[in-house]
Chain A
Amino acid sequence: MAKPPRTRPATAMGRVCIIAHSHPEFSKGGGELAAYRQFETMRDAGRDVVFVGASEVGTQYAESRPIETVMPFGPGEYVYSFAGMAEDRLAWEDTYQRGVLVDFLAALDCEVYHFHHYWRLGTDLIDALMAARPDARFVMTMHEMLAICLHHGQMVKTRSRELCRRESPLRCLACFPDQTLERFAYRKATLMAVLSRFDTILHPSDFIRGRYRDWGLTAPRDPVLENYLGDAMLAQPREAADPQAMAHRFGFFGQPTSFKGLDVLLRALPMALRGNPDIVLTVFGAEREDVLRLFPTLEPMVEAAGSSLTFAGRYDPLDALDLMRSVGWVVVPSVWWENSPVVIQEARRAGTPLIVSDIGGMAEKVQRGVDGLHFKRAAPVDLARVMVQATDPELRATLGASIRDVMGRAEFLAALDAATAVKR
């Protein structure tokens, strides 16, 4: 594929290629949203920037018909098929397709290659691109802990859902008894060998930086840089809500996966209702059927909650701030550590205080008594207690006034420039 023309004059920074594990057009996870928002922000700031994202659609298509590995997807945007990757999407089985993508990326002639994630990109691809462009700077933004933990990068034990605080081959073997100690060693070494070579690793939270440091990733510069929420959301006004009207309204935002803790919230709701019958909970991001399909044992709780519980279905991320302003509290009850949840950033942007699990990225990003309240992770009783406490309009007013806004555009770009300017 021909090298794309420079659409803007080169800045002092030179061309930057943002490579992400998905394009938000196809999925709306926090990682790809952060990557794409960085692309939009840099582009709108006049930077010479290219976005290359993995395409699930193209990959599925490739299973039945031939498709180009890399395809244009808009001005300065490209998507690629990862059909040639191994099942775990950490390496390529089809070395020809890998070569096509490496050649394409190398020919972009970028000064900085900024990866968002290594999943769906592959350690071998990164290694080959580094070899092809030894003069370029390489930056990686971490979005979860997949390198550390085979369990979807969650660092939650597979059998008990207990939190895992440190990786080691024997600990991992307890979660995955069908694996071997050698496989864990190969996996870690491969990822460590490649990640250690980055000039800069950006961590959206101090929590995740600590985890990667504990894991052994200490070679690259590793500043913490929060994901940027995007110009569109930053442009929206931040308005104070009526605490009297909002204090008893709670909202859950996100998909009902087993790690997001919606089951904890739904178990807490009946107990909270006994403490304050005025409480109402709205689940944004899922229908009732979606939730009961995943958590069939919760049906009695859902039935018992009656009109106090509403399922609002999926929502457009562009509507997130408005929806968050429609509730008095945003509850983030995740049972895994989280990194830097977009929901927390959005709630802070919206000015809606949060109730979050007291661990990891949630505890870091929601300062207790400033941005919201904490409850004991995976403990419905404690969540119910905090929800009842939160219905106090005075508390809601206090936290509604103190909750911090997110990082602004200029601050983000300056931090990004500083973080990506240096080659080791």
Chain B
Amino acid sequence: MVLRPFEDGQSGEALQLGLACEVALQGGGRLLLGSARAPADAEATLWLEAPGGQPCPIMQARFHPEPAQPDSPRPARLFALVTDALPPGTRLVLQAGDQRTDIAGEGSGESALAGLLAAWPAEAGFALLADCAANPALQPLLGWQQRPFGGFGDWLAGLNPVRGRMVETLAEIEEAETLTSLAGEVMVVVRGSAAFPPEARLEMVAIGQRPDAAGRAEPVAVPLLDWHVAALPQALVGQARIDPAWLDRLSTLELVLRVQMRPDLVHFLRCRPRAATVPDLLDSICRTTPFAEPGDAAGAAALDLLRLVVARREALWAPPLASLAAQRAAPDAAGHLPRLGLILGADDPLAARLFQVTAPEFEGRCDRLLVMGDAAEAVAQPFIRRGRIPVTLGAAAVQALRQAAGRAGVLAVEAPRFAAAVAAGRPASAFSRPLGAADLARLLALHASAGCEPALADSLARLLRLHRMQPGEPAFLPVQRGWSSPHAAEVVNAHLARLWSTGPAETALHG
């Protein structure tokens, strides 16, 4: 490894090399943390030398300038080296020109890691954390010593925590809004009330905890599938994707942000992202702080970015949604499966009266009943009192619906539509045809990619609307919420409408 000359170093000085910490990694590798100092006028090289003079490969190396010390006029370079293996007797070597110094490759163990990271510049901790996310061999660094986030615990504790989205301690930054969606999307929007400098940069590392086999929380750095950053006049916007399989296993998720306002001014923020619907997530791009300087340019730039993000999402989601819609159009065997009744939109306790007097309509059609909605408990009571079919509600009902794919045909009924059908003397017309595995897979994909409400029930109601849609009817009902602007609402609703209507036309028309 080549160390560039120290800009503020002095020529003709002796080489200095120190190893502060050596940590064993998963699979026999090693992490070596230390410092090196070399003359300013010479290019220095750092390497590991196995016994017999053979170089020991360094898989990854990072260098950081040591903070200026009052008693040390020559700042050193801090280094973090990762090797796949460290044979006994290996030496750490620093050479500049004809000068050479070397030390033993073994140092003090992992107990020194936490203190070292906390003492080193925050940049070093952030870089190492990012490496943990990229390199599974480094993951154990977050779990050592049975303390939260292991060797990073002290370092993380020293970062600026963000409560909600308000940033109170930094003058240049007013908000750091972080959101995640069911599909594993992460949106980071760092906002100021004045224009950010052009050199402003944003980086992010996701960390979290997931239960291990024994049920204990295991801290992890979460790998990202991608990461896109864009600069707006008064904001930095980062968009990432986490593998949903990862997200599902996490019990907590935090984001560590590195916000570089200028080359000499970097902030590190520790945020807990909010679970958001897709409209929430996308609208955050266009939102501004209450004290933001108004400007058409800022709004136009945000809308341009929103359109870009939307296009990226459609490129990602349209193919699988089209495929699922095509499967939905094929006949399936849901009609022969056990019948799972589902009452959606049970939001008003008054609906319980209706189900009290129409319960046999469900008991004759279903082997089991799920009830979803704000008033699910009240609406379920008539069925529970009668005791003819088992009833599940709330989160358990959502879980049961997710698990139903392929094992039950779902007869879905929207409570208000059922009321209309009963009033018209045709209660049977309110029941959907049995939804099968393909329908439920499509539902889950639509909920993840284009869900408009946190509740799965809302997405199911939208899917049922697609199934019964007649020519001339809108396929998608726009989302009503406190949008940042009517323009953002238009872009996002059009995007959601495209995702919801992805698939063969006959799928929607002949559901």
Contact = CB atoms under 8 A, between A and B. Distances in A.
Interface string A172-194: 00000000111101111110111
Interface residues of B, number: 22
A270 to B, nearest CB: 47
Nearest to A122: B353
A224 to B, nearest CB: 22
B424 interface: yes
**Most chain A CB neighbours (cut-off 10 Å) among B353, B418, B421, B425:** B353
B354 interface: yes
A127 B355 CA distance: 11
A183 B422 contact: no
Contacts of A326: none
Contacts of B425: 192, 196, 216, 218-219
B347 A182 contact: yes
Nearest to A197: B357
B348 A193 contact: no
Nearest to B382: A124
A90 interface: yes
A95 B351 CA distance: 16
Given A95-B385, A193-B422, A219-B425, A187 B350 contact: yes
A118 B348 CA distance: 22
A194 B355 CA distance: 11
Contact of A189 (B347, B348, B420): B420
Interface in A148-201: 180-183, 185-190, 192-194, 196
A186 B419 contact: yes
B348 A188 contact: no
Contacts of A189: 354, 358, 418-423
Interface in B326-366: 345, 347-348, 350-351, 353-354, 356-358
A182 B418 CA distance: 11
**Most chain B CB neighbours (cut-off 10 Å) among A181, A188, A190, A219:** A190
Given A185-B416, A185-B423, A219-B425, A190 B347 contact: no
A123 interface: yes
A91 interface: yes
A268 B412 CA distance: 59
A186 B353 contact: yes
Given A216-B424, A219-B425, A188 B356 contact: no
A183 B348 contact: yes
B354 A186 contact: yes
A202 to B, nearest CB: 20
A192 B426 CA distance: 11
A186 B358 CA distance: 12
Contacts of A90: 353
B372 to A, nearest CB: 15
Given A185-B423, A196-B425, A180 B353 contact: no
Interface string A117-158: 000000110010000000000000000000000000000000
B353 A123 contact: yes
A219 B426 CA distance: 12
A193 B357 contact: yes
Interface string B390-431: 000000000000000000000000011011111111010000
Contacts of B421: 189
A185 B420 contact: yes
B347 A193 contact: no
Interface in A206-264: 216, 218-219
**Chain A to chain B: the 7 pairs with minimum beta-carbon distance, closest first:** A189-B419, A189-B422, A185-B419, A127-B357, A189-B423, A190-B354, A190-B353
Interface of A: 90-91, 95, 123-124, 127, 180-183, 185-190, 192-194, 196, 216, 218-219
Given A182-B348, A188-B423, A216-B423, 11 more contacts: A123-B353, A124-B357, A181-B416, A182-B419, A186-B354, A186-B416, A186-B419, A189-B354, A189-B418, A190-B419, A192-B423
